[in-house]
Amino acid sequence: MPASWASRRPGGIGEAIKSVGEMRAADGCASLDELFSSGETGKRRRKALAEAVELQNYQ
């Protein structure tokens, strides 16, 4: 999925979706740490991820 597509999706989904080709291992670990963090950023990322997964259910 092109990064430009992901960045245009509503609700911060662009943050939740990132091309594997664009991601280094350290970036992936940092992203997962952020996703599972207990703060507002983690909460926002989990919500965006859930919305992205829900959209995939209809494709």
pTM over 0.85: no
Looking at the predicted structure, is the pLDDT value of residue 7 above 70? Answer: no
| DSSP for 1-59, written as a single string | --HHHHHHSTTTHHHH---GGG--HHHHHHHHHHHT-SSHHHHHHHHHHHHHHHHHHT-
> Can you give the residue ranges of every domain in the chain?
3-57
Q: Average pLDDT of 19-28?
A: 73
Quote the CA–CA distance of 42 and 1 in Å, as a whole number.
23
Q: What is the mean pLDDT of residues 32-55?
A: 92
The pLDDT assigned to 5 comes to 45
Per-residue pLDDT at 29 exceeds 60: yes
